[in-house]
Amino acid sequence: MEYRSLGNTGLKVSVAGLGCGGNSRLGLGRGASFDDCVAVVRTAVDLGVNFLDTAEAYGTEEIVGAAVRSYDRDRLVISTKAIFKADADTSETVTRRVEAALKRLGLDYVDVFHFHAVHPNAYEYHRDVLAPALARLKEQGKVRHIGITETGPRDPEQKMLARAIQEDPWEVAMLAYSLMNQGARRAIFPVSQRRGVGTLLMFVVRNIFSNASYRRDVFAKLVEQGQLDASILSDGDPLGFLVADGVAASITDAAYRYARHEQGVDVVLFGTGNKAHVQENVDSILRSPLPPPVIERLHALFGRLTGVGLDLPGPVKTS
């Protein structure tokens, strides 16, 4: 495993981080048992993954808590999140929800607590009204660092995060980034690096990379909308060049490698409910960068697309 600093937090984190939500939710999404889900977490940790990200909304905090009791707490960096409503929730709500999360996790503190999926219209309320409560919890040692996550599907232009990374108190940001959704390369990473904001990537691999029929539908629609030239459909799979001549083991492998080696990226989150897939995902994230000509082609083809591949968890419909 490779480790790096998470912005200016002082935390050393694995470049591969286990995301405990998404469709899989460690296996809960397909009906796996509690113990089987715990085993997925432990498989990741045993491979050197020390960054674990969960959330109240995922329903996996108890699983993470059970899994990490087998390890030295100082080795692990644990992140959780909660969704708050602007003009409804208060600082007292924040305190209660953080303490409830700690109880579910069975921990005295979390390394990062995020406001989860903050919409641009709700940003100022979170910053001005709710964030001071997290600052007080940080003073009490219950939260080590304060984070914020965007709502990619509902804010594809990353308007909220573009503001947040320039302001206090945010120390860590979670954002959508992939080879089909490259906006952060221009709008987010230059600023986050300058200000020392740690970055956690979500939506790195979604159905557009793993489901060929869904991918065909998405590309056909992009051509129909005039966002891509029709010639991209002429040679079969529009992303087939990523696996041609052994460039990558799979399109998913290429997607992980593209994101992991982008300047300004600290942690690439992956999610799964399958222990074997944990190894596969970690292997991809640790592989070498894609060849420069391939990266240049990805930038030229898809660099101006916005919001592609940001499908929410759930069943995929294809034509």
CATH of the domain at 281: 3.20.20.100
| Amino acid letter for position 245 | D
Count of structural domains, the chain: 1
Here the tokens at position 178 are: 């992939």
d(CA 142, CA 286): 32
Distance CA 175, CA 22 (A): 14
Please indicate, yes or no, if residue 313 is contained in any of the structural domains. Answer: no
Answer yes or no: is 307 within a domain.
Answer: no
Kindly state the tokens that stand for 300. Answer: 């030229």
Residue 309 lies in a domain: no
Give domain status of residue 45, yes or no.
yes
In a domain, 273, yes or no: yes
Q: Which residues contact 103 (CB under 8 A, 6 or more apart)?
A: none
Lookup result for tokens 């300047």: 263
CA distance 117 to 176: 11
Domain annotation covers residue 318:
no
Q: Is residue 149 part of a domain?
A: yes
Q: What is the pTM of this model?
A: 0.96
**Which residue type occupies 13?**
V
Tokens of 6: 């998470």
- Over its length of 319 residues, how does the chain's per-residue pLDDT go in tens digits? 999 999 999 999 999 999 999 989 999 999 999 999 999 999 999 999 999 999 999 999 999 999 999 899 999 999 999 999 999 999 999 999 999 999 999 999 999 999 999 999 999 999 999 999 999 999 999 999 999 999 999 999 999 999 999 999 999 999 999 999 999 999 999 999 999 999 999 999 999 998 999 999 999 999 999 999 999 998 889 999 999 989 999 999 999 999 999 999 999 999 999 999 999 999 999 999 999 999 999 999 999 999 999 987 655 444 4
Three-state SS for 3?
strand
User: Amino acid identity of 30?
Assistant: R
Asked if residue 316 is part of any domain, the answer here is: no
E strand or H helix at 150: strand 143-150
Q: Which domain holds residue 196?
A: 3-302
